[in-house]
Amino acid sequence: MPIRRDQSERDMLVRSVARYVKEQGHSDIKVNLFGYDTPDQIYWETTKQGHTPDVTSTNIKHFIIDVETDGLINEPNTEDRWRLFSANARQQSKLFIVAVPKGSEQPTRQRALDSGIKLDDVWIVD
């Protein structure tokens, strides 16, 4: 049952990030959870394959936020999403943020570094 636990934890973290960006004065907040406006899918132009960010918002700049649990940081699909979101952020002057639970900041930064992926920041979600 670890997948269910990770999904439940991830959903709680996504809600926390959505509350945080709202409290910080962000606008046009979209959240990839039932009951919210869903962010637009970001996709590779060449393959038309893509992913939907967990949260997008605007506060002077546009934010793309991916939320990870400890158990998902090293999943193969994680690198695919990060690579796509980072490339899109670079091309369109957005910020790419990964939000993780406390204690996961260093493994997240290391995974991005090892994969050659630029993160604008890592947010710690309590």
**pLDDT at position 2:** 43
CA 49/CA 58 separation, integer angstroms: 24
β-pair partners for 103: none
CATH of the domain at 77: 3.40.1350
- Whether residue 5 is predicted with pLDDT greater than 70 in this model: the reply is no
For 117, the domain range is 2-125
pLDDT of residue 8: 84
pLDDT per residue as tens digits for the range 66-100: 999 988 898 889 999 999 999 999 999 999 999 99
Tokens coding 87: 């490339």
How much is the pLDDT for 42? Answer: 97
State the DSSP H helix or E strand holding residue 91, giving kind and residue range, or none if neither: helix 76-91
The pLDDT assigned to 15 comes to 96
pLDDT tens digit sequence for 17-50: 999 999 999 999 999 999 999 999 999 999 989 9
Assess contact for 113 and 73: CB atoms under 8 A.
no
Read off the amino acid at residue 89.
Answer: A
Number of domains observed in the structure of the chain: 1
pLDDT bucket at 126, cuts 50 / 70 / 90: confident
In this prediction, residue 6 carries a pLDDT of 65
